[in-house]
């Protein structure tokens, strides 16, 4: 009996140790290489939807965030969160019967507006973890930017659909969008068979994480302090689900995961990596607890 418990206990201890050392070097002065979380909206949801064994009564926040990556003089966004046109997009893309279950708080604070007020230079590159509505909602706010997605994700963009697991035409169909199909040509990285080293220095590296959508990707970032952060999009919605190797709530998974089994395989790969690198900090796209601890733009993690 004890032998069956020890492997799971060891993983919990590893993740707990990682979290103990996850306190970031933060501040408002920009780093050479670092990131800031640009929170555009949130919504309170039933805890059981986000955490295995969670309450059916208690609610917790789910964030809609963009992640601003600074690499020396270059800025890029990993996901965009909700954009300035999201209200109209939502009316077109979210079926009426699903709106009580998939919604967002207003007013939205678009990433473009937050960056403009802070006096930052225009973002010239966006990378989408995947093309769902709550990740691609701000693409049209950055007409000057190239928008990178994996080559597999381009198939969804060329054939838009609706609903919470859809890629909405109102967000991605404009001919003015400068799409960039990413290919993973940099070889193995941290246990992933393929990767793309964006700056050829190992600090910003993309890896495929299929399942939630066929072309979902994650981003590894090594900041000034040497600490490594792993942005995993919607592979798991919270660290709690990741630690438990738990699937999403069944009804939600049915609506949003393209391939639930493949998504769980991507979760298992992250858990294996955490065993090898307990100091790694995993940042799910919607986990308010993790993001609250790291802080929000204009605060930088470095």
Higher pLDDT, 15 or 44: 44
Is residue 9 very low, low, confident or very high in pLDDT (cuts 50, 70, 90)? very low
pLDDT average, residue stretch 125-145: 97
Q: What pLDDT was estimated at residue 249?
A: 72
How would you list the strands of the sheet with 281-283, edge to edge?
Answer: 196-197, 204-208, 217-222, 228-231, 281-283
| CA–centroid distance for 264 within its chain | 16
Does residue 40 contact residue 84 with C-beta atoms inside 8 Å?
no
- DSSP per residue, 220-282: EEE-TTS-EEEE-TTS-SSHHHHHTTPPPPHHHHHHH-S-HHHHHHHHHHHHHHHHH-TT-EE
Q: What does pTM read for this prediction?
A: 0.89
- Closest by CA to 153, choosing from 184, 169, 130, is 130
pLDDT tens digits, 161-198: 999 999 999 999 999 999 999 999 999 999 999 999 99
**Percentage of residues of the chain with pLDDT beyond 90:** 75
pLDDT tens digits, 199-224: 999 999 999 999 999 999 999 999 99
Q: Which domains does the chain have, with CATH numbers?
A: 2-301 (3.60.15.10)
pLDDT average, residue stretch 279-287: 96
Burial of 53 (0-12, 13-18, 19+ CB in 10 A): exposed
């Amino acid at each position: 009996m004890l032998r069956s418990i020890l492997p799971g206990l060891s993983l919990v201890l590893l993740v707990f140790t990682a979290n103990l050392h996850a306190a970031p070097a933060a501040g408002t002065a920009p780093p050479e290489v670092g990131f800031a979380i640009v929170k555009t909206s949130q919504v309170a949801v039933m805890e059981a939807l986000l955490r295995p064994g969670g309450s059916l009564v208690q609610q917790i926040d789910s964030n809609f965030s963009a992640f601003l990556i600074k690499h020396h003089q270059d800025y890029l966004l990993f996901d965009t969160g909700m954009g300035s046109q999201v209200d109209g997009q939502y009316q077109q893309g979210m079926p009426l019967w699903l709106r009580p279950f998939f919604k967002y708080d207003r007013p939205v604070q678009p990433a473009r507006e937050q960056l403009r007020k802070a006096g930052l230079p225009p973002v010239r590159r966006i990378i989408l973890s995947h093309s769902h509505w709550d990740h691609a909602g701000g693409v049209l706010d950055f007409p000057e930017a190239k928008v990178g997605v994996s080559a597999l994700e381009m198939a969804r963009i060329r054939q838009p659909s609706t609903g919470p697991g859809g890629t909405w035409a109102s967000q991605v169909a404009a001919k003015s969008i400068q799409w960039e199909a990413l290919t993973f040509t940099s070889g193995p990285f941290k246990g992933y068979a393929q990767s793309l080293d964006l700056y050829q220095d190992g600090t910003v590296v993309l890896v495929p994480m299929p399942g939630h959508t066929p072309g979902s990707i994650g981003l590894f970032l090594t900041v000034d302090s040497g600490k490594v952060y792993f942005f995993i999009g919607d592979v798991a919605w919270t660290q709690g689900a990741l630690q438990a190797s738990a699937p999403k709530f069944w009804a939600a998974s049915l609506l949003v995961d393209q391939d639930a089994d493949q998504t769980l395989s991507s979760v298992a790969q992250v858990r294996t990596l955490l065993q090898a690198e307990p100091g790694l900090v995993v940042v799910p796209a919607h986990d308010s607890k993790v993001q609250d601890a790291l802080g929000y733009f204009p605060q930088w993690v470095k």
